[in-house]
Structure 1
Amino acid sequence: MTVFMFPGLGDHYLDMGRDLYREFPVFRAELDRCVELLEPELGLDLLTVLFSAEPAEQKPAEGLDLRRMLGRDEREESAQEQRLNRTEVAQPALFAVEYALAKLWASWGVEPEAMIGYSLGEYVAACLAGVLSLEDSLTLVARRAKLIEASPAGRMLAVMLPEEELAGLLGERLSLSAVNGPEFCVVAGPAEDVQQLHDRLRAEGVVTRPVRSTHAFHSAMMRPLVEQVTALAAGLTLNAPTIPYVSNVTGTWITDAQATDPGYWAEHLVSPVRFADGLRELGDGRQLLEAGPGQTLSSLAAAVRGGSAGVVASMRHPLERRDDAEVLRRAQAKLAGEERTEAPDAGLSGTERTLTEIWAKLLPVDEIPVDVSFFETGGNSLLATRLLLRVSRAFDVELTLRQVYETPTVAKLAAVIDARRSGTELAVDAASSETGSAERPRFQLPNGLWVTHQNEAETRHFYEDIFDHRTYAKHGITITDGATVVDVGGNIGLFTLFAHYEAKDVKVYTFEPAPPMFELLSRNVADHGVNATLINAGASDAEGTAEFTFYPRSSGMSSFHPDEAEEKHNLRTIIANQREAGAADEIDQLGAYAEELMDVRFEAIPFTATLRPLSAVIREQGIERIDLIKIDVQKSEHQVIAGIADEDWPKIRQMVLEAHDGDGRVARLTELLTGHGFTVLAEQDELYRGTDIFNIYATRGESR
């Protein structure tokens, strides 16, 4: 028997189903039909919101990677994504995609003998079961969504606790919103109450994760809508189901009386989703097919059933980069029994064997095939966080959640770990020898440029700051054709590349003291044909040498003036600011493991680095003017400035620097730059509120 599972909100994404719409006429026709029926209700053509104007590029996804501990979210939502994420649009869009997908499966002879939906997904099940016609289903879904959109906002929180234990912690204002597994529940309610519970549970070491949601679905906050939803349902024709499906409200089979009672559909809005009970009601002998975007229900089913056998997802996860048509074809093969899996055997590598042991401790399965996805064997984002931390301890490598989604099997993830370990060792070797010739990881930036790098999470963070937020090119700071730019603190060269591509015929002088980063900088400059002179030294106030503390896992915090306590404080403060801004879903997944992971970040390697004053390089290179100096050197900015001789200040037109203000440095630097004729602006990004990190922007007319 095949059971269709229909997901609710949370796993939807821009361009969901686009590949199916392009390749499968049945899906296209059914989706077009829904779009046409919805247009009078929504006042728009849903396809203009659901699909981007051009095919979606492979963008970095919201997920745990350590850039979140260093900076902002990877990117802001586009205007189209914001429209799609509005409840009044997202719910009808999700219904339409799931309905069209179910009809596509039916055209291939795969029809449900039973169904289970999650939240909104129950409406799709009811429609296919004949409880509501398609027209009435879309009307009810769209008008219900408008009511929710107009209601007060709320928050939801996933909690790794059993229902019985969690119930005593909710108080009067919080509601149990869903029971997804033996120790996996969701809480909903007013934002401040959810935050208080979150803080309390984190302090007790309980893993929690904010759920992407604008409202407190399936909670008491929906209670004011009960009469209106009842009236909406009462105005439609409700029929007894012709296909059995499981009720979210009871966790067992829907009855004819419930399905045809308008009050049931209002009660559905305020009652917890008893999905785990529903899965148990279905039993183990049925094949479960997730007919909708994401793979959340497949993961939940695998966790409840103790394995992924007979569980099939038919669309990609939002963080995956695969074509939905490819995922669907794989699902077809799996349903037909044509896809084989490889069980663990004595031929496993050491890395694969260790990974298998780690997975076995996290997942509710007896055997871990090396070519089956973590998320098809009961894994979810919370468990993936634990996986990352255990991998970090076992292999001394740092991976991102994106890598778990992109390489979710033991075999694939082991290959990533082996490559990363090799790359890390080579980075260390390059610092102590001249043999740094081995291959380094290559990475494609969101703008299409390829770079050789050290750490994907950090590279994404730097890209966002430099290219997306233009941190070093705002408040009047410009790079024009023929400019001369000095990049102090070059790292792997992203700002050097930014300057190169910002204008024509730009000449860059780049300082980088750490040998591993200088090697990467050199490769990137050569690969992109940048007109750059590279200086393997730190800029300072005098010639000499000094010990440089290099953090391989957090190279941007490497410093001639290391202060681990201060650096950890800054990271903790940044994390708190992100959480307050409501943009730290993946950070919150770290739970009680955050401090342990932070310790890993600050494991250091010392180097003896050369120091050069800026003016010495200006003289050697015959530099007659400098259009922009960018300085980002982790608490050495005052020494860099002191290395500029009086006769060289008139050559400088603009300067932007990151300054650490623990000793009143920002005020002193502002005064110094003002004294040299610059107009100065010092600002602190809201992200860094509570730290000593500021940016200083100094501009004036043409260099003199």
Structure 2
Amino acid sequence: MSTRSIAFMFPGLGDHHVGMGLELYRTLPVFREQIDRCAAFLEPELGVDIRTLMHPQSAPPPLPASAGKKLDLRRMLGRDGRAPTPEESRLNETRNAHPALFVLEYALAKQWQAWGAEPEAMIGYSLGEYVAACLAGVLSLEDSLTLVARRALLVESLPAGAMLAVMLSEAQLEPLLGGHVSLSAVNGPEFCVASGSPEAVQELQTRLRDRGAAFRRVQSSHAFHSNMMEPIAGRVTDLVRGFARHAPKIPYVSNVTGTWITAAQATDPAYWAAHLCRPVRFAEGLGALTSQALLEVGPGQTLSSLVSPAPARIVVPSMRHALDPESDTSVLQKATARLDGLEKESTAKRPFTKTEQELAAIWQAVLKCEAPALDAHFFQLGGNSLQATRLLDRLSKTFRVRLPLRRIYEVPTLELMAAALDAPRSGSFPTRSSASPKSVNGSLFRLPNGLSIAHQNEAETRHFYDDIFAHRSYVKHGIRIPDGGCVLDVGGNIGLFTVFAHTEAKNVRIFTFEPAPPLFEIIQRNVAQHGIRATVFNVGLSNLECEAPFTFYPHSAGMSSFHPNEAEERHNLQTIIENQRRSGDAAVDQIGEHASELLDVRFAATTFDAKLRRLSDVLREQNIERVDLMKVDVQKCELEVIEGIDDADWPKFSQIVLEAHDEGGRVGKLVELFERRGFSVIAEQDALYVGTNIFNIYAIRKGS
């Protein structure tokens, strides 16, 4: 993901709500890890686990995406007369709302950074500036949490206040304020916020009404950014003085000045007192930003709505409003897809070297592509392991340099690969590329049926396509997906079965589970790209809830497993390749002398700590009352997945299809279990897998 042109925007209070980010907490490991970390640190300070305030047991499940639903504008504007629930009242207490919002925005920012979105700049609105300062390194996370929590207690000790949004310019509003109301924010050319005591703000409303000016009360417990904050200004200064402060490492815009924060301001304790009492100059701050994309990192989309449209940049919210029927996952997926467009920026152009020119010509011949740019990526242009072996032969003949196959994966861009070819003469060796295909974006690949998907490995994707779309392996023996059905895709990989289920029937609701973060991110992109009604979980399923190491093979992702056995996996892959050769696959024959090296590359591994959950727990949380089809492909964990279904939930399942590894008689155990649960069962082995321990099991409930 390109990060050179992204600025983070952190909202202030107002759009926080009970259940905010709950779906993301359940499905995104980095987001969840940061929430947990902050909650553990804050609990002694707050006397409460912040997670119980953000996500109480009674929090409703995330609202499903629905094209037919609309926002309740009266409720959004606070005009429906509905009293807040006890959970809402508790979260809205200043001592709770401030740290909760900080924690959510910080965790979401760290999730974006984990996906490769490093901001070139930041701007925060009110409390949001504390998040920007923390990410910029002005204060440590622990000091930031302590400061936000203690500052909130100081604010809570002040008399109640009121705030009013007014559709007038600063110059028009100032003469109407009187001596007891302050200008607290300038959000646009004709959009300001005033604040003061409830009585003074009521008098301002009368003056505005007489003038015919539009205004609206802002839901707020205190008069933020006003002279009513001055009694605690000195104590805020003292608080900040007690923490180590550093010059910002990432530029961000000051609310106080409306322009870039200076090191002197950021590290001056008195600045943070001024920030508390003086108006938020957000409109001016937006003018200081020149980033191509502004990413709102927090609940709601208020800041996005304040940005004036400009053709040269995009504004991207990454969370829903509390009353938006779309899920947080869906909003985040759309944000990821929009930011992917920035990746098309090329490396600054310069003349090609002789080696780069010759290499570009070889790429064109091998990949059948147009002339590649310097930052073009061999595998993102459609290259795969088979084409990489052909590339090696061409490079050896042209440059008299023999690179090992793994080197193609380490230096996959044109510029780096050319440097690797020049290295024996220059004595300078290029480092491993950071532009790995396992990034959040994945490369785009056009399937034989015309659909484009993000993926990692063309050979593996073609195999999955043949299995799912061409041979229809998951809908054999009477298995079908009904219109409006509910489908579980357990072991989603890049989401190809999720895409298939979406195209196979109308209005299908899909729940997809994938524990490997690189694959989870690719699934999210595919779901967003095709408008699939799916909820994607970055977890595995098992018979108990825990964490476990997950071995991930970036170049052979389908064999990734919680139970790795490289000897067995090498045997299976070698057998599959040999079966392909016997069936007349010409591409496989071209591997030749590179076969052993290809296997080494395919089994280069990395390990993740992944979360495992019980399927019945997920069914309850998501209110899933029926499962029309569950597909399971989890590399030797299939029995544990099935054992995570409670007795009371078995009647919900109509059809189950598994890929099972027959270790210790597992296939027989699964067949017996399904038959005992009232299913008709077929177990068979595909011709491609003859000689391996891989079988398919088809279970259909009798009478369904």
TM value normalised by structure 2: 0.46
